[in-house]
Amino acid sequence: DQQVKQNSPSLSVQEGRISILNCDYTNSMFDYFLWYKKYPAEGPTFLISISSIKDKNEDGRFTVFLNKSAKHLSLHIVPSQPGDSAVYFCAAHYTNAGKSTFGDGTTLTVKP
């Protein structure tokens, strides 16, 4: 039973346009959500997070939206740049358990 799902394995957008990456979860006990970015042959790096008590968090070109009733979050990148091309992982964290559950990732390609 996959508790965190990223239903789009890949996404291709034009440079300068908006990229929207989606993530769904099933466990209502998750209290923090994080997005990580990963380049080939490297470890993931943290991008942005959001608490379950908020519905939006913004950091420069990156904004994460949380719809708790729908158990859905999304990452918006505006404007998209070729350097954003990477695999993006959604992760849901349950503080009491002390661990995060990751989705399968979405490969974003930003075309010049």
- CA–CA distance, 98 with 87 (Å, rounded to integer): 24
Note whether 104 binds another protein by CB under 8 A.
yes
Tell me how crowded residue 98 is: count the other CB atoms within 10 A of its CB.
7
Smallest distance from the beta carbon of 26 to another protein, in angstroms? 15
Contact between 36 and another protein by CB under 8 A: the answer reads yes
Query: Which backbone phi and psi does 84 adopt, to 5 degrees?
Result: -80, -10
Q: Round to whole Å and give the CA distance between 50 and 48.
A: 7
Hey, what amino acid is at 81?
A: Q
Running DSSP on this structure, what letter comes out for residue 62?
Answer: E
Q: Among residues 7 and 14, whose Cβ is nearest to another protein?
A: 7
Q: Which stretch binds another protein (CB under 8 A): 13-21, 37-45, 62-70, 76-84?
A: 37-45
Residue 93 lies near another protein (rule: CB under 8 A): yes
State the Cα angle at 79 between 108 and 23, rounded to 5°.
45
Q: Residue 93 CB, nearest distance to another protein (Å)?
A: 6
How many chain residues bind another protein (CB under 8 A)?
26
Residues that bind another protein (CB under 8 A): 4, 6, 9, 31-32, 34, 36, 41-46, 49, 51, 89, 93, 95, 98-105
